[in-house]
Structure 1
């Protein structure tokens, strides 16, 4: 089966924009310096405060929600993001994510008079849209990096590769008369 690093390298072409540096570094596309091999264990440093971690978890599920397939939380995206930022990001590369989470928390209290932990899914969607449209300081840089983290975390997870997509390690035989209406998933190999 494909490993996460190979999947990360394959995801690079999907964004059509420069990759967030920690993702590119983890995929082995840049910075082939003397950084140590990262263990499968917990993150080497604590990146998020409890409030930031809870918000990051909520927002990741808003980017890739649970539908007929599991969403970002079930796929382990929050743990992936924390591990990637702890072990592959330089301290200054964490700033857009941390500052963006703090700005979203402040905007939620300002606009809705509740902390993000009590915000509705619609309010969280509105906050993400405000970030995407740069309606607050550093919102666009947060959204750009955060969306990449969530998407790569999801589509390089086992759930993303095997439940959202159909994994075929060796593509099947050719059927020239296969009806398009029978296609229900995108295949990855």
Structure 2
């Protein structure tokens, strides 16, 4: 069975040179040692305030929502993000995330008169789009780092590995004429 350490080591290929520094550090440690890279349990120190934690949770679920498979919240992505930033991030790594969360919150209060964590999913999507397009101060850096952490946390979790993707340790035969309409899951090996 594939584990988080193995999956994390494969994330480097997915994001390439633009990999967010704490993810790169954790992935490098995964390749260099046999110790658990990101252990279960709480982060070594709190990175987020309760309001920021609620916003990270809401935005994570907007990036990978619950559909026919569990979403980011069910996969424990918000806790993964805080643990990644606490245990593998340096203060400079946290700055764009914390500043981005504050900027998203300020924009939500300005535009919608409600905290971003309590905004509707449509409003949260609009806020993420503004960040992605650089229309919020520091938005591009925040969005790219947030997106990478959510994807990494999700696809290295048990839910991401076993329910979103189908793990086949030995893939089946090659069938070049397999109809695309019959592809249900992306396979990982």
TM-score over 0.5 (shorter chain): yes
Number of equivalent positions: 185
Mapped partners of 1:64, 1:37: distance in 2: 23
Question: 3-state DSSP class of the match of 1:27?
Answer: helix
Q: Distance in 2 between matches of 1:164 and 1:27?
A: 21
Shift of residue 179, structure 1, vs aligned partner: 3.9
Matches within 5 A, 1:1-189: 1-28=1-28, 39-175=39-175, 178-189=178-189
Hey, what's the Cα distance between the residues in 2 that align with 1:37 and 1:119? Answer: 34
Q: Against the structure 1 CA distance between its residues 180 and 107, is the aligned structure 2 distance closer, same or farther, given a 3 Å change threshold? A: closer
Comparing both structures, which one devotes a greater share of its residues to helix? Answer: 2
Give the whole-Å Cα distance in 2 for the aligned partners of 1:173 and 1:150.
33
For 2:132 and 2:50, locate their aligned partners in 1 and report how far apart those are by CA, in whole Å: 24
RMSD (Å), alpha carbons: 2.0
Cα deviation, residue 17, structure 1: 4.5
Which region of structure 1 is more displaced relative to structure 2, 11-20 or 123-132?
A: 11-20
Q: Which runs of 5+ in 2 are unaligned?
A: none
Q: Distance in 2 between matches of 1:177 and 1:21?
A: 41
List gaps (5 residues or longer) in structure 1: none
Tell me how far apart the structure 2 counterparts of residues 59 and 134 of structure 1 sit (CA, whole Å): 17
Distance verdict in 2 for CA 1:119–1:176, change over 3 Å = closer
Closer, same or farther: CA 9–53 of 1 in aligned 2, 3 Å:
same
Q: TM-score, normalised by structure 1?
A: 0.90
